[in-house]
Amino acid sequence: MTTRASVLTAVKRHGATVFGLLLLGGALYVVQREFRTLSWSDIQGALHGTPASSLWAAAGFTLLAYIILTAYDRLGSVYAGHPVSYARTSLASFVAYSLANNLGFATVSGAAVRYRFYAAWGLPPLAIAKVVAFTSLTFGLGGFALGGLVLVMEPEVLPFFGSGTPRWLMQAAGIAMWTIVAAYILAARFVSHFRLFGHRIDLPGFPMAVGQTALASADVAVTALVFWTLLPHVEGLTFLHFLGIYVLALSAGIIANVPGGIGVFDGAIMIGLSSYLPAPVVVGALLLFRLYYYIVPLFIAGLMFAAFEVSQRRHLMDRIAPERGVAVSFEVPAMAALTALAAMTMILIGALPPKPNALDGVFDILDDAASHFAASVVGCMLLVAAYGLMRRLAIAWWGALALLLNGALVVWLRGEPWWLIGGFMLLAALLTTVRPAFYRLARLNAEPLSAENVAILAALSLSALTLAGIGYAGPYADMSWWGVVLSAEAPHSLRFAVALAGVFLLVAAVRLLRPARTGALPYDDAMQQRLAALGAVAPPPGDADGAMLGEGERAGFAFMKRDGVWLALGDPAGEERDRISAIWRFRDVCERAGVDPAFWRAGPDLLRVYADIGLTPFALGAGPQGPLYLVCRPERDIAALLPLLPKMDHAV
């Protein structure tokens, strides 16, 4: 039973991530295969061939799609019993969807952003939870309704399942999807609520359930129209055909849980449209679609959210000095997401043949530096750097800066467009402006040089030298490193060596860029006295399950363990900077344990730090030193925490 429980825990903790990585790996292989015969001139020709009328139509449908999205939150607030003005729900909806679609990190997920907005506007936690649940369910209803329509009417348009799949089987799947939607609508007509996995689910009523389904279906259909209008007319590709491809590609991108579905959505679209349109045309439409629906809204929403965050925290600016390394929480995930986007760009352009440039035949070693192989390695290392940036590691900041400059050089050597080079340089410049936000020490420079760290460093160095030797010589420099692994033309020994070196390089880099290891400390009489001396909440032994100290052991707090969440008893007390490190160490320990961190009766001084680790505050009332808060990840934990915290009764 213990083994089974541990397996289930591991699957619950890592299953989604592993599955997403597998989808991403498969998508990258597909994209690379399709890109190998392309050139930027082909893609530019397709872009220039897009009529102005199509561009204006796509812009109009993009605006309409986001207008439809704003209705999600308006209906959600009515359903929750706390109607919010359309202006406010429009702001929350646009920012939440734009940031979540592009960034995908916990601190800027759609649920977390909504909790930030609605908590500031005075909605109680359970009401916000209902709004979040309503918006999430509404989006799913649209996918099921339209997916069922495609599978019933035109099941053969989905090439992903092969021509051998019986038509009746696909139609049965479509009917099953319709049955789920119909069951939800009928349940809303006859039942006010039901219980699922111990949670009470309140249904919105028949009219609103019908409105949800219609609204979500219109949203998905209009978003597909944005893409559809950017494609040229081709025989046999009706809108219904394209809708099926789009819904499946969108679903794959969501399941993979990568920012913007990058790679996965694109690979699925390229497979689905491969029998209708040439690859350059599809890639050109993909670029325009991402510009309209993702990139432009991202920058607008980012500015709106940053302005909102600053306005909400203006009274805290003087309490937490910039030199303490605390930046507005949006900046760090935004930099990490943009770095990940640069990494994916490097990986994708590495699959394109380099353009002729002024250095051809002059410096062969520079030509080799711009190879597919080198570009793919730089792209993968940038992904690792983005992982470290999210954890605010100083060494990740230095690594990302160096790799971005390296990427700009590679792009220039390959003869790519000036705006692509400028994008890498601009991101590097933006990264330099937020240096104080990256203040944490990594395992590499925070722990003694143990035998384990020496072995990791040796593996990293050996792997880098192996990949560099292959990338700068031989006929395989025109492949990415995983392309060599998958190539049937390469010798088995070479494929094995590259696979081993590539995996070792990435694993070693991730391990060295992880925060310094720490663990929860036992809570006994000695720890109680130590925390009491620091000024922290120090209940009798038995009333707390553990303690956490900062990196300098000059600040700490006690905490309780609950199912799925560990609850700290108040703010860390002690030396100011060590209070911040104690919060981050607690976050890391909770992540390794597969639980969420939360803080009970936290004061206002460290709210910005809690926001940096993705937590949202809810007012509990006033204490002797000022207002008190429950700070948690409400999109997952509010239902579990409310019964434990009777002091929140008046806030619900």
Higher pLDDT, 553 or 264: 553
When mean pLDDT is compared over 220-229, 311-320, 586-595, the highest value belongs to 220-229
What does the pLDDT average to over 340-355? 70
Q: Is residue 308 part of a domain?
A: no
Kindly report, residue by residue over 443-498, the tens digit of the pLDDT.
665 555 566 666 777 777 777 767 766 655 556 666 666 667 666 677 777 777 77
Of the candidates 525, 516, 523, the one whose C-alpha atom is nearest the C-alpha of residue 551 is 516
d(CA 439, CA 437): 6
Q: Are the CB atoms for 40 and 352 separated by under 8 Å?
A: yes
d(CA 481, CA 374): 8
When mean pLDDT is compared over 188-197, 377-386, 408-417, 570-579, the highest value belongs to 570-579
Between 52-79 and 279-290, two packed helices, what is the crossing angle to 10 degrees? Answer: 50
- Does pLDDT of 336 surpass 50? yes
Q: Is residue 178 part of a domain?
A: yes
Kindly report, residue by residue over 516-575, the tens digit of the pLDDT.
667 788 999 899 999 999 988 888 888 889 999 987 788 999 999 887 889 999 899 998
H-helix segments, 414-480: 418-432, 443-446, 451-471
One domain for residues 468 and 534: no
One domain for residues 70 and 115: yes
Coil, strand or helix at 87:
helix
One domain for residues 7 and 153: yes
Q: pLDDT exceeding 90 applies to what percent of the chain?
A: 6
Residues 6+ apart with CB under 8 A from 362: none
Q: Is residue 572 part of a domain?
A: yes
Structure-block tokens of residue 230: 């950017």
- Residues 425-448 as b or e (16 or more Cβ within 10 Å = b): bebbeebeebeebbbbebbbeeee
- Does pLDDT of 650 surpass 50? no
- Does pLDDT of 509 surpass 90? no
What is the structure's pLDDT at 558? 93
d(CA 592, CA 30): 33
Half-sphere exposure for 238 (CA within 13 Å, toward CB) = 7
Instruction: Work out the burial of residue 93: count CB atoms within 10 Å of its CB; fewer than 13 is exposed, 13-18 middle, 19 or more buried.
Output: buried
Kindly report, residue by residue over 179-189, the tens digit of the pLDDT.
888 888 888 78
Distances (CA, A) of 379 to 19, 195, 200, 323, 343: 21, 46, 45, 32, 4
What is the structure's pLDDT at 313? 54
One domain for residues 641 and 565: yes
Question: First and final CA of the chain: distance in angstroms?
Answer: 39
d(CA 369, CA 354): 11
Task: Write out the residue range of the structural domain in which residue 266 sits.
Answer: 2-298
One domain for residues 53 and 156: yes
Between 206-228 and 52-79, two packed helices, what is the crossing angle to 10 degrees? Answer: 160
- Does pLDDT of 317 surpass 70? no
Task: Compute how many other C-beta atoms are within 10 angstroms of the C-beta atom of residue 8.
Answer: 11
One domain for residues 499 and 534: no
What does the pLDDT average to over 51-57? 88
One domain for residues 74 and 174: yes
One domain for residues 457 and 565: no
Q: Is residue 225 part of a domain?
A: yes
What is the structure's pLDDT at 311? 65
Strand partners, 617: 631
What is the structure's pLDDT at 647? 43
Please state the separation of Cα 159 from the chain's center in Å: 28
Report angle CA 520, 522, 524 to the nearest 5 degrees: 150
- Final residue before a domain boundary, out of 298, 313, 347: 298
- DSSP character at residue 83: -
One domain for residues 243 and 342: no
Higher pLDDT, 362 or 188: 188
What is the structure's pLDDT at 585? 87
Q: Looking at 72-192, which runs of residues are DSSP E strands?
A: none
Distances (CA, A) of 529 to 251, 340, 569, 586, 635: 53, 45, 15, 20, 35
Task: Compute how many other C-beta atoms are within 10 angstroms of the C-beta atom of residue 22.
Answer: 11
Q: Is residue 337 part of a domain?
A: yes
What is the structure's pLDDT at 161? 53
- Final residue before a domain boundary, out of 267, 298, 329: 298
Q: Report the domain count for the chain.
A: 3
One domain for residues 506 and 530: no
Q: Is residue 45 part of a domain?
A: yes
Torsion of CA 318, 432, 337, 268, to 10 degrees: 160
Residue 440 φ/ψ, nearest 5 degrees:
-90, 150
d(CA 434, CA 612): 14
d(CA 503, CA 482): 10
Higher pLDDT, 66 or 247: 66
- Does pLDDT of 111 surpass 80? no
Residue 560 φ/ψ, nearest 5 degrees:
-110, 145
Kindly report, residue by residue over 76-103, the tens digit of the pLDDT.
888 888 888 888 888 888 888 887 776 6
Higher pLDDT, 311 or 9: 311
What is the structure's pLDDT at 557? 94
What is the structure's pLDDT at 363? 43
pTM score = 0.63
Amino acid at 20: G
Structure-block tokens of residue 340: 């990940």
Of the candidates 214, 228, 219, the one whose C-alpha atom is nearest the C-alpha of residue 68 is 219
- Please give the mean pLDDT across all residues of the chain: 74
Structure-block tokens of residue 412: 């220039």
Q: Is residue 517 part of a domain?
A: no
Structure-block tokens of residue 581: 């490190």
d(CA 79, CA 502): 51
What is the structure's pLDDT at 226? 92
One domain for residues 503 and 455: yes
What does the pLDDT average to over 19-27? 55
Instruction: Read off the CATH number of the domain in which 530 is found.
Output: 3.40.630.30
One domain for residues 441 and 535: no
d(CA 607, CA 613): 10
Q: Is residue 598 part of a domain?
A: yes
Report helix, strand and coil shares of the chain as percent, to nearest 5: 70, 10, 25
What does the pLDDT average to over 500-528? 78
pLDDT band at 225 (very low <50, low <70, confident <90, very high): very high
- Final residue before a domain boundary, out of 512, 533, 553: 512
Which single residue is written with the structure tokens 């035109």?
154
pLDDT band at 365 (very low <50, low <70, confident <90, very high): very low
Coil, strand or helix at 144:
helix
What is the structure's pLDDT at 324? 36
Higher pLDDT, 38 or 582: 582
Instruction: Work out the burial of residue 2: count CB atoms within 10 Å of its CB; fewer than 13 is exposed, 13-18 middle, 19 or more buried.
Output: exposed
